[in-house]
C-alpha cells in the first residue's frame, strides 16, 4: 500500500483590482467569520486572502482583530529585487512584513512584444528562498 504525506490544501482568493483599503476591510470582516467556520471543519485547508497591495494593511488588521486558525494574508505579486528604483513594485522584505503567502507567475504580466513573462524573476526569487 502506498501512502502519501498529509499536506494542507491552500485555497487563495485573488481579489484582483477590487477594493481599496476601506472596502477591503469591510469585505474581509464579512467573510472571515464564514471562512473561519469552514476552516474549523477542515483542518487540512488553509485559506489565503489576497487583496490589492494598497489594501494589505487594512485586511491584516481585520485578521489581527478577528483571528481564525488557517486564514492567512497573501500578496498578489512580488518583485525579485530587495530594493531599488522599481516604481510600483513590492520587494520580498515588504511582503514579509505583512504576509506569509504571495501569488507568483501569473500569466497577466507579459510585457508587450516580449516572449518572456515579467514574473520569471519572481519565480527565481521563490526558488531561491525569499522566505515568503
pTM of the predicted structure, to 2 decimals = 0.78
The answer to the question of residue 101 being in a domain is: yes
- Residue 116, SS3 per DSSP: coil
How confident is the model over 21-28, as a mean pLDDT?
Answer: 98
Structural domain range at position 90 = 9-127
Is the separation of the CB atoms in 33 and 63 below 8 Å?
no
49: Cβ contacts below 8 Å, ≥ 6 apart: 12, 13, 15, 28, 31, 32, 59, 63, 71, 72, 73, 74
* E strand spans, 1-132: 9-14, 45-50, 71-75, 101-102
C-alpha span between 74 and 99 (Å, rounded): 5
The answer to the question of residue 28 being in a domain is: yes
pLDDT above 60 for 128: no
Provide the pLDDT for residue 109.
52
The answer to the question of residue 39 being in a domain is: yes
The answer to the question of residue 132 being in a domain is: no
List the CATH number of the domain containing 37.
Answer: 3.20.20.70
- pLDDT, tens only, 42-81: 888 899 999 999 999 999 999 999 988 889 999 999 988 8
Provide the pLDDT for residue 119.
47
The answer to the question of residue 2 being in a domain is: no
- Report how many domains make up the chain: 1
Amino acid at each position: 500500500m502506498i501512502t502519501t504525506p498529509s499536506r494542507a490544501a491552500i485555497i487563495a482568493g485573488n481579489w484582483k483590482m477590487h477594493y481599496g483599503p476601506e472596502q477591503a476591510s469591510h469585505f474581509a470582516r464579512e467573510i472571515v467569520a464564514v471562512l473561519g467556520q469552514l476552516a474549523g471543519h477542515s483542518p487540512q485547508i488553509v485559506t489565503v486572502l489576497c487583496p490589492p497591495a494598497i489594501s494589505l494593511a487594512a485586511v491584516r488588521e481585520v485578521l489581527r482583530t478577528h483571528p481564525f486558525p488557517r486564514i492567512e494574508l497573501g500578496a498578489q505579486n512580488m518583485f525579485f529585487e530587495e530594493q531599488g528604483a522599481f516604481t510600483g513594485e513590492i520587494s520580498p522584505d515588504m511582503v514579509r512584513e505583512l504576509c506569509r503567502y504571495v501569488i507568483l507567475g501569473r500569466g497577466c504580466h507579459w510585457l508587450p512584444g516580449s516572449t518572456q513573462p515579467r514574473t520569471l524573476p519572481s519565480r527565481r526569487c521563490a526558488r531561491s528562498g525569499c522566505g515568503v
